[in-house]
């Protein structure tokens, strides 16, 4: 359950709103808009979500607040007359005292208007009620948290900016459920920019990062970073190819980009077969045409066995002429697969390139005209072994560019370490995206080190599971 703020952008960052019943700290320097945010949350709650609210202030008189908020077109007194809102000005001591009493002022107020949302402006003073001891301050914050929970109120607790450089994390960051930080920062030494960041939100996933906000005539307005907006749109787009691994799709913003060239940089210790098989299986299920260059360590039979674990019957796929293979090793094949396998072991580099250009690609090209999607996968180290580094350096960029221009998606497996730094950086430049997986100690990691939108991800732990889809990124 969520308690929507109704503030543009913020509900998207929060994945719908504040978790109902949670107590959230809003932290910021003077003038960053904390009071405005608090009132806006209450005002929208009443106007849009049928949730009444209480605003408690230690610092200002209600009259000042009424006047300030009129600038945004919010008539708070009208809401008070309707018993939907209460604006209360009192001392911190009185609040704590009244909160502790059953049937005290606090409880009465809440019952009177069936209050669901509360804002306290600000808790900075509460902590110092008893200056002699920090312990007392903590006790007061605990009391406050427990009372808010008891009445199942969703609350915003405003606080002056804590010292960002302080060595210890302030105590209140632990005991409350979330933290929203408003900042006013120097931008390019030209102007000051307001940014909002959700640093913690217990029990919900949030859009990370600093989002710019403005204080407009309608109150606070958060503009989401364009990247996040693009991700939201892209993830719904048909141009995203699902990998079959939900957590990987999420990191990729919905999946692989159709028509792009991806490289999976791996080493022999890392388990990459599940990743590759899952992607291939997903492409087959989606009805794509597939082409693969077989490596010396993976025959069609071995691929068939892996695909079977992903509920794909390779025999059927071959029968339907949905998958083709380039074979360098002349391994024996069942009769029914013959027409789908191109044997190239007798072709030198020049003839091989000729074959690709004048036999294979024209065939693919005619399929593309029929609006079939092609997905190509191969192990580049196998090509380097068979054709040499020079061949790859000479042809890789042109081949991938040509594939891209025809809207094919290409996934290339490569061990960057094995090919050396220069070749690796050439390859990296020639593709749109790089996924890197490696083993460190007894754990495997996966990271996106290059993406078409310029974002690199953090390293994720790759967990191998017993059951389908066998992989999870955490
Ligand atoms: N209509 C408006 N358009 C643009 N900015 C506005 C408007 N109304 C108020 N502001 C700005 O909003 C800020 C005040 O917001 P608010 O009082 O909510 O901040 P605050 O963080 O609570 O400040 P304090 O720490 O002093 O209590 C001021 O910087 C003011 O310039
Ligand atoms: Mg204020």
Asked if 445 and 438 touch (Cβ cutoff 8 Å), the reply is yes
Residue 229 lies in a domain: no
User: CATH code at 363?
Assistant: 3.40.50.300
What is the pTM for the complete model shown? 0.59
Residue 231: inside a domain, yes or no? no
Q: Does the residue 409 lie in any domain?
A: yes
Burial class (CB in 10 A: 0-12, 13-18, 19+), 440: exposed
Q: Which domain holds residue 188?
A: 2-224
Q: Predicted confidence band at 226 (pLDDT cuts at 50, 70, 90)?
A: low
Do residue 269 and residue 337 come from a single domain?
Answer: yes
Give a yes or no: residue 157 inside a domain: yes
**Residues 129 and 63 occupy one common structural domain:** yes
134 shares a domain with 12: yes
Split at pLDDT 50, 70, 90, the class of 238 is: low
Which residue's alpha carbon is nearest to atom 30 within ligand 1? Answer: 31
CA atoms of 426 and 60, how far apart (whole Å): 63
Per-residue pLDDT at 43 exceeds 70: yes
Domain total in the chain? 2
Give 423-453 pLDDT, tens digit per residue. 999 999 889 899 999 998 889 999 999 887 6
Task: Give the ligand at the shortest distance from the Cα of 30.
Answer: 1
How confident is residue 369, by pLDDT bands cut at 50, 70 and 90? low
Q: pLDDT confidence of 456, banded at 50, 70, 90?
A: confident
Cα 114 to Cα 102, 137, 379, distances in angstroms:
16, 29, 65
Q: Which has the closest alpha carbon to 414: 262, 244, 280, 297?
A: 262
At 110 the pLDDT is: 94
In a domain, residue 233? The reply is no
Identify which of 68, 160, 215 to mutate to test ligand 1's pocket (most ligand atoms within 8 A of the CB): 215
**Within this chain, do residues 412 and 371 fall inside the same structural domain, yes or no?**
yes
CA 196 / ligand 1 centre spacing (Å): 14
The verdict on 213 and 242 lying in the same domain is no
Same domain, 405 and 464: yes
Does 236 score more than 60 pLDDT? no
- Tell me, what's the pLDDT at 32? 94
Same-domain pairing of 353 and 209: no
162 and 193 share one domain? yes
Question: What are the tens digits of pLDDT across the range 374-397?
Answer: 999 999 988 999 999 999 998 998
Tokens 């990296």: give the residue. 428
Helix (H) or strand (E) holding 412: strand 409-414
User: What was the pLDDT predicted at 344?
Assistant: 94
Claim to verify: residue 420 and residue 385 sit in the same structural domain: yes
Q: Is residue 230 part of a domain?
A: no
Mark which of 167, 193, 224 sits at the end of a domain.
Answer: 224
Mean of the per-residue pLDDT values of the chain: 88
Question: Closest by alpha carbon to 276, among 135, 375, 190, 199?
Answer: 375
Cis peptide before 122 (omega within 30 of 0): yes
Kindly list the protein residues whose Cβ atom lies closer than 6 A to any atom of ligand 1: 28, 30-36, 71, 215, 217
Domain boundary among 175, 197, 224: 224
In this structure, are 327 and 454 located in the same domain? yes
Domain assignment of residue 319, yes or no: yes
Minimum CA distance residue for ligand 1 atom 15: 33
User: Residue 17, SS3?
Assistant: coil
Q: pLDDT tens digits for 288-332? A: 999 999 998 889 999 999 999 999 999 999 998 899 999 999 999
Candidates 45, 49, 66, 48; CA nearest to 57 is: 66
Is 100 in the same domain as 248? no
What span, in angstroms and rounded, lies between the C-alpha atoms of 217 and 220? 8
d(CA 378, CA 14) in angstroms, rounded, equals 41
Q: How far apart are CA 182 and CA 199, in angstroms?
A: 11
Look at residue 164 in the predicted model and tell me its pLDDT.
63
SS3 191: strand
d(CA 15, CA 220): 18
pLDDT digits (tens, 9 = 90+) for 242-286: 999 988 998 888 899 888 999 999 987 888 999 999 999 999 999
Does residue 424 belong to any structural domain of this protein?
yes
Tokens for 300, please give them: 């069609």
Last-in-domain residue among 192, 224, 256: 224
């Amino acid at each position: 359950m969520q308690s929507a703020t109704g503030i543009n952008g913020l509900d998207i960052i929060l994945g719908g709103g504040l978790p109902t019943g949670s107590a959230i700290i809003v932290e910021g320097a003077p003038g960053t808009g904390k009071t405005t945010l608090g009132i806006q949350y209450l005002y929208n709650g009443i106007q849009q979500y049928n949730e009444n609210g209480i605003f408690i202030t230690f610092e200002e008189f209600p009259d000042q607040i009424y006047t300030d908020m009129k600038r945004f077109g919010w008539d708070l007194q009208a809401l008070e007359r309707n018993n939907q809102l209460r604006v209360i000005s009192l001392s911190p001591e009185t609040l704590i005292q009244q909160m502790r009493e059953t049937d005290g002022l606090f409880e009465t107020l809440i019952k009177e208007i069936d209050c669901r949302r509360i804002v306290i402006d600000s808790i900075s003073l509460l902590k110092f009620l008893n200056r002699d001891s920090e312990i007392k301050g903590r006790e007061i914050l605990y009391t406050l948290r427990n009372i808010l929970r008891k009445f199942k109120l969703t609350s915003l607790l405003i606080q002056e900016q804590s010292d960002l450089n302080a060595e210890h994390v302030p105590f209140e960051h632990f005991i409350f459920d979330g933290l929203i930080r408003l900042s006013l920062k120097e931008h390019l030494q030209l102007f000051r920019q307001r940014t909002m960041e959700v640093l913690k939100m217990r029990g919900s996933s949030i859009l990370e990062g600093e989002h710019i906000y403005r204080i407009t005539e309608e109150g606070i307005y958060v503009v989401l970073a364009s990247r996040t907006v693009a991700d939201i749109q892209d993830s719904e787009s048909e141009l995203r190819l699902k990998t079959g691994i939900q957590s990987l799709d999420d990191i990729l913003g919905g999946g692989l980009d159709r028509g792009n060239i991806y490289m999976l940089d791996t080493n022999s210790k890392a388990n990459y077969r599940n990743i590759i098989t899952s992607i291939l299986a997903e492409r087959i299920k989606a009805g794509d045409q597939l082409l693969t260059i077989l490596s010396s360590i993976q025959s069609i039979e071995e691929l068939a066995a892996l695909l079977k674990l992903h509920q794909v019957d390779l025999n059927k796929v071959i029968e339907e002429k949905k998958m083709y293979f380039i074979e360098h090793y002349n391994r024996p094949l069942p009769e029914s697969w013959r027409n789908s396998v191109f044997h190239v072991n007798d072709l030198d580099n020049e003839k091989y390139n000729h074959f690709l250009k004048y036999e294979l690609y024209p065939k693919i090209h005619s399929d593309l005209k029929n609006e079939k999607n092609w997905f190509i996968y191969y192990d580049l180290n196998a090509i380097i072994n068979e054709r040499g580094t020079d061949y790859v350096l000479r042809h890789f960029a042109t081949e991938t560019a040509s594939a891209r221009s025809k809207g094919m998606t290409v996934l290339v497996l490569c061990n960057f370490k094995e090919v050396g730094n220069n070749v690796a950086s050439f390859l990296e430049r020639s593709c749109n995206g790089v996924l890197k997986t490696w083993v460190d100690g007894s754990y495997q990691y996966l990271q996106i080190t290059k993406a078409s939108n310029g974002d690199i991800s953090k390293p994720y732990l790759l967990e191998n599971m017993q059951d389908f889809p066998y992989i999870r990124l955490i």
